[in-house]
């Protein structure tokens, strides 16, 4: 569990399923993922589930649609009654006969999500953590990492199933000399992955050379990559080895490779095919032994289709692909990362911080983090610099969150021309529409989202944004 979250014994599930074998399998899955102390109540009828919900509160209700026939003429009616009784819980509809129409019907009836049986433990954990983030139960539904797993891996911090899958890919790919192609949004840790591949490889004692194709002017990139001899161009006062030569017997990491000039891409392809390079201004070829790892934050197939990336080079490099998930898809890693950065920066600044209060933790988990781990790192650093120590509070987070304040300033009301009706900002109009839909469905986010034809996560994110805007306005 994440720091400050409930214990496994306090996470409660209500399982509604008339099929005993399937129910036992689901119970075993829940206990394997959340620990033996997790509280699970099993009901075999819809009416029994309503009785349980009248007497106790549950974090999650998992209900097989067929089991609800005794409380509704159709599965959707039974799901609606269950949704009303399970207010405050996450309601997951289960069915062996999975289809798009049945999933839509369940969501419209009030379920937060729909899963096909049998359900897998890791998949269920990821889905519940994501739903918990959207619906205010993020800290309650963080699951334990698998027993025996390590919280840190070669510079990474994260125990989520998604990250353990990445660790496994790195371990499997590291011993090979085949090229690795890493994709992922900015700030997800592509260079950290490349360094991990190098440290786990037989080349670990040799050089790791990183080169960012987006940070070097096109006219200098060839010399940086292949090297140059004295007099090859203005400013070349001596012979100089390039990144490939410096990485001989080691690993070369080419970041943002999609930004590389097409002419240079052809020379890189020739190096990959022949294992030799020629310095700029020189005719002699040099043999090198380099393991190439490259990365991009763009869709490489789109770059190929737009003729910005050579297709033959892509397939030469795209031998062992690794895709890094964005932080918003692994919410269970947000607080461990924040705590790690808090301890690191507090030590650097010689300050004493002792974790985060629950409201601050909720603000961190509710964020979308478009800049991923790098954005999270920057926010924690600002908190440490701006404040003297103690427990991190929600007010500290909002004061340091300059990105959120910037959006708020852009959304200030506009003054309409004389004689015209006052123009409301888009966010205020959205807020009114969404609040009207929530009122029409008794506050049920899933049903309001279905009526508005948007994702339930959109409503939750916007509610968090409005609350933050209200706090900022009140503090101004």
Omega before 357 within 30 of 0, i.e. cis: no
Q: Give domain limits for the chain.
A: 8-134, 161-327, 330-400, 409-475
pLDDT tens digits, residue range 323-339?
999 998 888 889 999 99
C-alpha 198/C-alpha 208 separation (Å) is 7
**What is the reported pTM?**
0.61
Homologous superfamily of the 8-134 domain (CATH): Response regulator (3.40.50.2300)
The dihedral region occupied by 423, where left means phi > 0, alpha psi between -120 and 50, and beta the remainder, is beta
Collect the ranges in the chain with pLDDT lower than 70.
Answer: 1-10, 97-101, 120-123, 125-127, 129-151, 231-237, 404-427, 450, 453, 455-458, 460-461, 463-476
> Pseudo-torsion of CA 336, 341, 346, 347, nearest 10°?
100
Q: Which CATH architecture has domain 330-400?
A: Orthogonal Bundle (1.10)
C-alpha 284/C-alpha 227 separation (Å) is 12
Coil/strand/helix, residue 430:
helix
Q: Residue 293 corresponds to which tokens in the numbers above?
A: 């790892």
Residue 303 makes CB contacts below 8 A (sequence gap 6+) with: 258, 296, 309, 314
DSSP letters, 91-143, are EEEEESS--HHHHHHHHHTT-SEEEESSPPHHHHHHHHHHHHHHTT-TTTTPP
- pLDDT of res. 134: 56
- Core vs surface per residue 281-312: b (16+ CB within 10 A) or e: ebeeebebebbbbbbbbbebeebbeeeebbee
pLDDT tens digits, residue range 9-22?
467 899 999 888 88
Whether 8-134 and 409-475 share one fold: the answer is no
Angle of the 20-34 helix axis to the 121-134 helix axis, nearest 10: 70
Residue 451 makes CB contacts below 8 A (sequence gap 6+) with: 437, 440, 441
- pLDDT of res. 218: 84
Alpha-carbon distances, residue 375 vs 20, 31, 185, 340, 382 (angstroms): 47, 35, 12, 14, 11
- pLDDT of res. 72: 82
Residue 150 makes CB contacts below 8 A (sequence gap 6+) with: none
Q: Which CATH architecture has domain 161-327?
A: 3-Layer(aba) Sandwich (3.40)
Q: Residue 152 corresponds to which tokens in the numbers above?
A: 């840190």
Pick the CATH number of 409-475 from 3.40.228.10, 3.40.309.10, 2.40.50.140, 1.10.10.60: 1.10.10.60
Coil/strand/helix, residue 462:
helix
């Amino acid at each position: 569990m994440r720091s400050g979250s409930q214990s496994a014994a306090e996470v409660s599930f209500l399982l509604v399923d008339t099929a005993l074998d399937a129910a036992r399998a689901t119970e075993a899955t829940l206990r394997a993922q959340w620990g033996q102390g997790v509280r699970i109540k099993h009901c075999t009828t819809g009416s029994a589930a309503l009785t349980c919900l009248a007497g106790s509160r549950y974090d999650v209700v998992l209900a097989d649609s067929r089991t609800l026939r005794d409380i509704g003429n159709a599965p959707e009616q039974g799901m609606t009654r269950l949704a009303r009784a399970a207010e405050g819980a996450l309601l997951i509809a289960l069915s062996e006969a999975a289809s798009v129409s049945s999933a839509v019907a369940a969501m419209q009836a009030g379920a937060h999500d729909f899963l096909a049986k049998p359900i897998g433990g890791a998949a269920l954990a990821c889905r519940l953590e994501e739903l918990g983030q959207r619906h205010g139960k993020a800290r309650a539904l963080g699951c334990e990492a698998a027993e025996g797993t390590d919280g840190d891996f070669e510079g990474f911090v994260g125990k989520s199933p998604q990250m353990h899958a990445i660790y496994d890919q790195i371990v499997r790919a590291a011993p090979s000399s085949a090229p690795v192609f890493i994709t992922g949004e900015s700030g997800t840790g592509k260079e950290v992955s490349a360094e991990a591949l190098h440290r786990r490889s037989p080349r670990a004692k040799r050089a790791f050379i990183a080169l960012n194709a987006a940070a070097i002017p096109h006219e200098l990139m060839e010399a940086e990559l292949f090297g140059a001899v004295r007099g090859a161009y203005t400013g070349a006062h001596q012979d100089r080895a390039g990144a490939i030569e410096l990485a001989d017997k080691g690993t070369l990491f080419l970041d943002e490779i999609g930004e590389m000039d097409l002419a240079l891409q052809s020379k890189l392809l020739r190096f990959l095919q022949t294992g030799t390079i020629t310095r700029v201004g020189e005719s002699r070829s040099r043999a090198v032994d380099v393991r190439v790892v490259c990365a991009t934050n763009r869709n490489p197939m789109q770059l190929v289709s737009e003729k910005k990336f050579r297709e033959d080079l892509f397939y030469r490099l795209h031998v062992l692909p690794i895709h890094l998930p964005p932080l918003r898809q692994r919410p269970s890693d947000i607080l461990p990362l924040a705590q790690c950065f808090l301890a690191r920066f507090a030590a650097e600044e010689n300050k004493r911080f002792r974790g985060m209060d629950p409201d601050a933790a909720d603000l961190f988990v509710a964020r979308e983090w478009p800049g991923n781990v790098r954005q999270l790192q920057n926010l924690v650093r600002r908190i440490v610099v701006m404040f003297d120590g103690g427990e991190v509070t929600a007010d500290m987070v909002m004061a340091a969150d300059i990105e959120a304040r910037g959006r708020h300033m852009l959304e200030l009301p506009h003054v309409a021309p004389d004689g015209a009706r006052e123009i409301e900002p888009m966010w205020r109009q959205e807020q009114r529409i969404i609040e009207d839909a929530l009122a029409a469905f008794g506050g049920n986010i899933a049903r309001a989202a279905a009526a508005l034809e948007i994702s339930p996560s959109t409503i939750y994110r916007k509610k968090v944004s409005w609350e933050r805007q209200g706090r900022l306005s009140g503090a101004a």
